[in-house]
Amino acid sequence: MLKPYLYIALKLIAAYAFFSICFYGYVGLIDSRGSVYSHFLAEYSLIDGILVGLIYPCVWILELLGFTSRHSGNCVGIENGIVVYIAFACLGIKIMIAHTSLLIAFPGKQKIKFWVIGILAIHALNIIRVTTIVLMFNHDRGVEDLTHDLFNYFGYACVCLFFYLWYTKNGEFQKA
């Protein structure tokens, strides 16, 4: 009875560790300050693509709401207001790794379809998250930690909900 659960837990841990190591290795390869640097990977950085795909929709939403926004590099904010710095850890990649690891670890159907939908949903939630953080920081700087942490917990709760919805519809767990 314990064997299938143990197998799934080990697959989950192994997948999460593998993708996390690959991510941090990739970050190390695109950092020009590192001892091993790949100009090619830095030039065509996936992380920069995710960052641009996060910043420009945030700017669009802020302007849609009537604010004059500004952005530069890893920063986005409201004109004459506080600018929020978006670090590698804020791109949602760790949540995407958790989502991917869950799908790999558990047996089921339609994994690729759900993986794509999940990644896009996580990215959309992150756009909303960063936009809301910019708005909240400009309204009241004292809510910085609360806003940031609350959205992180909400993001992981959404991944759990996405996984639950997928698994109840497509999961193939064998009960012993």
Can you tell me the mean pLDDT for 73-102? 89
Where does the pLDDT of residue 176 fall: very low under 50, low under 70, confident under 90, or very high at 90 and above? very low
pLDDT of residue 173: 59
Q: What is the pTM of this model?
A: 0.85
Give the whole-angstrom CA distance, residue 111 versus residue 105.
Answer: 11
pLDDT of residue 2: 65
What does the pLDDT look like over 122-167, one tens digit per residue?
Answer: 999 999 989 988 988 888 777 767 777 888 888 889 888 988 888 8
Burial class (CB within 10 angstroms; exposed 0-12, middle 13-18, buried 19+) of 39: exposed
What does the pLDDT look like over 23-78, one tens digit per residue?
Answer: 988 888 888 787 788 888 888 888 889 999 999 999 999 999 999 999 988 899 99
Only one residue has tokens 């065509």, namely 44
pLDDT of residue 82: 83
Give the whole-angstrom CA distance, residue 145 versus residue 50.
Answer: 23
Where does the pLDDT of residue 175 fall: very low under 50, low under 70, confident under 90, or very high at 90 and above? very low
